[in-house]
Amino acid sequence: MSVAENLRGPGAPTATVTIDGARYDLPIRKGTLGPDVLDINSFYQETGCFTYDPGYTSTASCESKITFIDGDKGILLYRGYPIDQLAEQGSFLETAYLLLYGELPTAAQLAEFTDRITRHTMVHEQMTRFYTGFRRDAHPMAVMVGVVGALSAFYHDSIDIKDPSQREMASVRMIAKMPTIAAMAYKYSIGQPFVYPRNELDYSANFLHMCFAVPSEEYKVNPILARAMRRIFILHADHEQNASTSTVRLAGSSGANPFACISAGIACLWGPAHGGANEAALTMLQEIGTVERIPEFIKRAKDKDDSFRLMGFGHRVYKNYDPRAKIMQKTCHEVLEAVGLRNDPILKVALELERIALSDDYFIQKKLYPNIDFYSGITLKALGFPTDMFTVLFAIARTVGWIAQWKEMIADPSQRIGRPRQLYTGATERAYVPMSQREAPQRSS
């Protein structure tokens, strides 16, 4: 098989694929930014061949107008706006509005959207009973998967995905309730009473209040910490077709209700190669412990026979610095300063590890740079969160992106159920063997 680009001739450019002497023209589609795409939609029908791309490294799974990443240049845009500008200047709900509806809101639009969200921040009181069904030491992500999925058992009036107003209602409910559900998971794990939302606070400050206030005394949210929380939420709000977003889209493609789809996204996010990496990065920094031990860990990360990796380093898409990591590093310094941890030994280890890794040939050649999770773990710890809450905070923020992507998919007239194919390498057809004639076979997994 050979592929040659064919840019000549009338109409749109095509690429030509030759299979056993037969030529097939594939349309080349151009986006507003990013690489061209060979449209293989009818490839199987025309050629009888599948394409093979485990991990989807070369596959655009959908058309989207929401988020753009240029991994080589270290660029991340939400609806065209650079992430650093949004994180520095925008509010979280403004970013949410942008991701959901495509444009920055006017003051009146933002006020109306904020009002709509804040009127849905409480959860059905009966839902509090779910929590007591979980063990106190349950991982809060396990609780999130269960409780968010169970929203569909409470809000029947917003699960008809064919009705745009129900889709909108489900979206508002999830964005509004996610911080409440997450804070309840935290409070339950430490044996404290649930704290109800305070709608006079903004999204991030309200979340900190629900996590750290107790009924017995007044709790004032530190504005520096609230700003850090806001930035963390904005930085994590969307990230193109990553594993959890693709999971939400795939679940949604079958017509599953939105609460079930977001619950599936949370389950996927939990994995250590995805949202669980901030927890893993902090654990690693604590394990390294002192600057003197860094070379030992760098050596291990480079050793092919050692499965150890520098957590918080490397990214499937960013082969330059992760633009979110820059803002996260700055935020980390601000938070540590605000809570009196400027000389935190873990921060020292992180800064030195980053310096050494960035000047090491192995990391340079493989284009391994710190990603957002490298500094977010230290920051979240300084904010007062235990490590098992880190991925939960990621899930709160990413809910906006998941919903924006899910809504885009449902509204797309070309949407069909997602159904990948496979390269089958198992047994060919064979006849059933009665038990009495079977010899002990080798088991395959």
Supply the minimum distance, in Å, between the C-beta of residue 12 and ligand CMC: 32
Binder to ligand CMC among 116, 309, 319, 326 (CB under 6 A)?
309
* Interface with ligand CMC in residues 234-263 (CB under 6 A): 239, 242
Q: By CB under 6 A, tell whether 74 contacts ligand CMC.
A: no
User: Which CB sits closer to ligand CMC, 157 or 303?
Assistant: 303
Least Cα distance to 147 among 118, 185, 173 occurs for 185
Q: By CB under 6 A, tell whether 368 contacts ligand CMC.
A: yes
User: Which CB sits closer to ligand CMC, 253 or 371?
Assistant: 371
Binder to ligand CMC among 123, 145, 226, 301 (CB under 6 A)?
301
Q: By CB under 6 A, tell whether 265 contacts ligand CMC.
A: no
- Per DSSP, the three-state class of 130 is helix
**CA 374, CA 336: separation in Å to the nearest integer?**
15
Which positions ≥6 away from 278 have C-beta within 8 Å?
312, 372, 373, 376, 377, 380, 390, 391, 394
User: Which CB sits closer to ligand CMC, 274 or 407?
Assistant: 274
Q: By CB under 6 A, tell whether 378 contacts ligand CMC.
A: no
Q: By CB under 6 A, tell whether 297 contacts ligand CMC.
A: no
User: Which CB sits closer to ligand CMC, 197 or 312?
Assistant: 312
Token pair for 286 = 């604590």
Supply the minimum distance, in Å, between the C-beta of residue 273 and ligand CMC: 4
User: Which CB sits closer to ligand CMC, 213 or 264?
Assistant: 264
Supply the minimum distance, in Å, between the C-beta of residue 310 and ligand CMC: 4
Torsion of CA 215, 220, 226, 228, to 10 degrees: -100
Q: By CB under 6 A, tell whether 311 contacts ligand CMC.
A: yes
Phi, psi for 62 (deg, rounded to 5):
-160, 170
Binder to ligand CMC among 86, 232, 260, 277 (CB under 6 A)?
277
Task: Give the helix ranges, DSSP H, for 289-436.
Answer: 294-302, 323-338, 345-358, 361-365, 372-383, 390-411
User: Which CB sits closer to ligand CMC, 198 or 330?
Assistant: 330
Q: By CB under 6 A, tell whether 315 contacts ligand CMC.
A: yes
Binder to ligand CMC among 111, 273, 411, 433 (CB under 6 A)?
273
Token pair for 103 = 């444009």
**CA 67, CA 33: separation in Å to the nearest integer?**
11
In the chain, how long is the greatest CA-to-CA distance?
A: 79
Shortest-Cβ-distance residue relative to ligand CMC: 314
Which 3-state string (H, E, C) describes 165-232?
Answer: HHHHHHHHHHHHHHHHHHHHHHHHHHCCCCCCCCCCCCHHHHHHHHHHCECCECCCCCHHHHHHHHHH
Annotated active-site residue 373? The verdict is yes
Annotated active-site residue 115? The verdict is no
Token pair for 410 = 């449902």
The catalytically annotated residue of 236, 315, 322, 388 is 315
**CA 271, CA 423: separation in Å to the nearest integer?**
26
**CA 219, CA 198: separation in Å to the nearest integer?**
12
Give the range of 6-14, 212-220, 255-263, 364-372 binding ligand CMC by CB under 6 A: 364-372
Number of Cβ atoms within 10 Å of the Cβ of 181:
24
User: Which CB sits closer to ligand CMC, 319 or 330?
Assistant: 319
Give the range of 12-20, 38-46, 272-280, 426-434 binding ligand CMC by CB under 6 A: 272-280
Q: By CB under 6 A, tell whether 316 contacts ligand CMC.
A: yes
**Catalytic positions:** 315, 373
Q: Which residues bind ligand CMC (CB under 6 A)?
A: 239, 242, 273-275, 277, 301, 309-316, 366, 368, 371-373
